[in-house]
Amino acid sequence: MPYQEVFAQFWEQVKESVQEGNFAKLTMAKTIGKPDLKNIFLRPVASKDGLMVLLKFHYRSRETEDIENELTFDQALEVMKPYLVTSFSSVLLFTTSKDVSFKINKKGIGTITEGLPTFANVVLSVKGEN
């Protein structure tokens, strides 16, 4: 199945985990090539504006400062989408009930696998913290 359709299914699981209150973290990983951008992280953040996420661009080079933005989930998705296939070939969803991996192979086929949870609790991030 083309990765776009599988990613839509994966993103539904992300939204479900948010609605159920067990979303812990999302990581874009497995870089394609050797870009300076190492990972993109998405974590829940405490906000008076309702549920927000901290979107963090983490770079390999110590000279390049990480970039953080507080966004809604929908805004974060729009920022992250262009990095699929061009920069990253996998996205990992960590919840308190299960871990879900989305991967794209070299033929552009997407797959979803599930595993045991890495996180026992949801920890809200604060901008500027690791």
Q: Residue 34's pLDDT is what?
A: 80
* Calpha distance 57→38 (Å, rounded): 8
Task: Give the range among 26-30, 46-50, 68-72 with minimum mean pLDDT.
Answer: 46-50
Q: Which run of H or of E encompasses 23?
A: strand 23-31
- Report how far residue 31's alpha carbon sits from residue 6's, in angstroms, rounded to the nearest whole number: 19
Predicted local distance difference test score (pLDDT) of residue 31 = 85
Residue carrying structure tokens 């009930």: 97
Confidence of residue 33 (pLDDT cuts 50, 70, 90): confident
CA distance 104 to 53: 24
Cβ within 8 Å of residue 11, ≥6 positions away:
77
Strand stretches in 46-96, DSSP E: 52-59, 67-71, 88-95
Q: Is the pLDDT of residue 28 over 90?
A: yes
Neighbours of 122 (CB within 10 A): 16
The more confident residue out of 124 and 96 is 96
pTM of the model: 0.87
> Where residue 48 falls among pLDDT bands split at 50, 70, 90?
confident
Burial of 90 (0-12, 13-18, 19+ CB in 10 A): middle
- Tell me how many degrees the CA angle 29-52-121 measures, rounded to the nearest 5: 65
At residue 56, the pLDDT reads: 95
Please check the confidence at residue 97 and state whether its pLDDT lies above 90.
yes
